[in-house]
A and B are shown apart, each in its own frame.
Chain A
C-alpha cells in the first residue's frame, strides 16, 4: 500500500514537472498544417524517416493537427485490428516466443505426466493397503495361539477373521505354493529371516516416508479406505516398489551378514520360522481353508468385498467354496447351485472389483438373524 502511495506521489510530481515545463515553454511557429494524406501515411508508418521528423515537429506545436493525429491513430488501430490480434500474430512470428511457449508446454506436460503416475501409484498402494495391518496382526499370532485354542475350546468362539486378513493370508499361501513343503535352501532361509526381521523396523521407517503419499491418496479416495493412516508401509505395496524393496533387502542381507544373523532373533515368529521353516505362514492358510459352514463362507465373501479385494482373496474363497462343495453333504440343492455359481464367477478372468460385484449379486442381501 505504501509502495502504491509512493508511486502515485512520484507520478504526480512527474506530471507537475512535465506540465510546468510544457506551459512555461515559449510558443513556436508551426508552419502550415499537415496534408491529410501525409497525416494518414504518418500514422500507417509509410513515410520515409526524413519525412517523419518534420511531421512530428509540426504536431508538437499545432493544437489542431495534434488531436486529429491522435483520433486518426485510434481509428487506424481499430481498423487494422492492431490492438489484440496483431500483437498475438506478431508474437507467434517470433521464434523466441515460440521456443519459450514450447518449453513451457513441455514442462507442463512433464508435470502432468508425473502427477498422473504418482496418483496412479498411490491408487495401487491403496488397493493393497489392507495387507499391512494383517502382517502386523499375524506376526504375534504364534504366541497367542495356545490362548486362542483355549478360548475356542471354552466355547468362546472368536468372530470370523476380518476380510482384510484374507489377502495376506492368501499371499502367504501363494509364497508357500511357490516353495512347497520342502524346506528352503540355506541361502533363501537367510533371506527370509532377514526380511522378516527387517519387516517390522522398515514398516516403521517407511511409515514416515510414505505419509505424504498416503495423504495424497487419502485426498483422492477419501472415505474409500478407512485404515489408510494406520497402513504405514504403503511404499512397499506397489508392485514396482515391492520389487525394489525386495532387491534392496536381498542386497542388504547379503552385504550385512551380521545384521541378518542377529535380526531374526528379535521376533518370536522369526525364531519359529528359523526352527520350523514355514510353520507360521502356513497357519493362516490352514485357517483359511479350514472347514466352514456355508453361512460363514458367505459372510467372508460379503466382508471381503466391502473393501477392494486382492486377487489372493478370490483364490482363498474359491478354495473354500470347493471344499464346501466336496465336504458338506447337508447342503440343499439351491445352496450347492449358489456355490457353483460363485465358483464360476471366481473362475472368470476379470478384475476383482467386478467379481466382487457379481458375488454380492449372487449372495443377495444378508438374511435376517444372520448378522455379521
Chain B
C-alpha cells in the first residue's frame, strides 16, 4: 500500500472531524471529507509529497484539509463577493456572511457552526449575524442554489486570493461603508455624532504594526481572550496585556492629536 495513502488514512478521523465542524450537516460533512481525501490523492498524492518536514505531518494535513474544505464549499455553493464593509470587517464577519448568505444556514445554525469552530465566539457571532441580516435583507435569497460539483471544474487558484483589487474603493461604496460601520460601531450615538467621523479617522492615517493589528483583530473583532491572542502571537499573558494597554493608549492619543479627541470622548 502507498505510504502516503496510509498516512492520509491514518488522519481520516481528523479530516472527518474538521469536515463535521465546517459544515454541521452530517451528509454534507461526509461528502466534504471524501472530497478532501480525493484532493489529497490527486496526482498520486502530490500535495502530501510536497511535504518537506518543516512541521509535523498531522498539522500539515490539517492545513491541507481546511483549504480543501473551503474549496469544496466554493464548488458546492458558488462564489460571491461580499460587500466592502464585510470585507473590511473581515474574520468572523466573512465567515458568517458565507454561512448565512451563501450556504443559507439559519442564523442559529450559522452561530452554532462558528461557535463550534472557535469556542468563545458565540456572543460576538450572534451579534454579527443579526447585523449582517439587518444590513443585507436579501442575504441568501438568490444564492445558495446547490450546484453539482464537477471534477472538471477544477480547484480555484487559491494563491491569488489576496489580490490588490480590494484596495480600489469606489467613492459611493466607501460612503456606504462608513455609514454602515458607523451604525454598527456607535448604534444610537451615531445619529448625534459626526457622520464623517470614520472618514476623518481614515484620514488620520493611523498606522499599526502587523502584530498590533492581529492583536486588535483577535481580541476585539473575533472575541478571542487576550491571553490566548498573546499565545498565538508569541507573547506571554503579562506581555500581551501590557502591550494591549499601551496600544490602546497610543491609539487614543493619536486620534486626539488628529483633532478627534472630543468626538471620541463622547462616543467611546
Contacts and interface: CB of A to CB of B under 8 A. Distances in A.
B213 A65 contact: no
Interface stretch (A27-35, A108-116, A119-127, A305-313): A27-35
Interface string A68-100: 101111111001000000000000000000000
B228 to A, nearest CB: 9
Contacts of A37: 50-52, 54-55, 60, 63
Contacts of B251: 17-18, 21
B91 interface: yes
A62 B214 CA distance: 11
B167 A29 contact: yes
A70 B118 contact: yes
B225 interface: no
Given A14-B248, A40-B62, A60-B213, A74 B117 contact: yes
Nearest to A69: B232
Nearest to A64: B161
A72 B206 contact: no
Contacts of B268: 13, 16-17
A79 to B, nearest CB: 6
Contacts of B262: none
Contacts of A8: none
B186 A16 contact: yes
Interface string A44-72: 11110000110011111111111110111
B181 A39 contact: no
Contact of A65 (B50, B54, B162, B252): B162
Given A22-B216, A37-B52, A43 B59 contact: yes
Contacts of A20: 185, 198, 201
Interface in B87-109: 87-91, 94-95
B62 to A, nearest CB: 5
Nearest to A32: B159
Contact of B210 (A32, A44, A59): A59
B222 interface: yes
A175 to B, nearest CB: 70
Given A63-B94, A75-B14, A36 B67 contact: yes
A24 B204 contact: yes
Given A24-B204, A40-B63, A74-B118, A15 B166 contact: no
B90 A63 contact: yes
Contacts of B216: 18, 21-22
B206 A15 contact: no
Contacts of A75: 14, 18, 59, 62, 66
A40 B186 contact: no
A26 interface: yes
A16 B267 contact: yes
Given A30-B162, A53-B210, A17 B264 contact: yes
A71 to B, nearest CB: 6
B206 A24 contact: yes
Contacts of B56: 40, 44
A25 B201 CA distance: 8
Interface in B155-192: 158-159, 161-162, 164, 166-167, 177, 181, 184-186
Interface of B: 14, 18, 50-52, 54-56, 58-60, 62-64, 66-67, 70, 87-91, 94-95, 117-118, 158-159, 161-162, 164, 166-167, 177, 181, 184-186, 198, 201-202, 204-208, 210-211, 213-214, 216-217, 219-222, 232-234, 248, 251-252, 255, 264, 267-268
Interface of A: 13-33, 36-41, 43-47, 52-53, 56-68, 70-76, 79
29 contacts: A17-B251, A17-B252, A18-B221, A20-B198, A20-B201, A23-B88, A24-B202, A25-B202, A25-B206, A27-B166, A27-B167, A28-B167, A29-B164, A30-B162, A33-B161, A36-B60, A40-B54, A44-B55, A45-B234, A47-B54, A52-B234, A56-B211, A61-B162, A61-B210, A62-B161, A62-B162, A64-B161, A71-B66, A75-B66
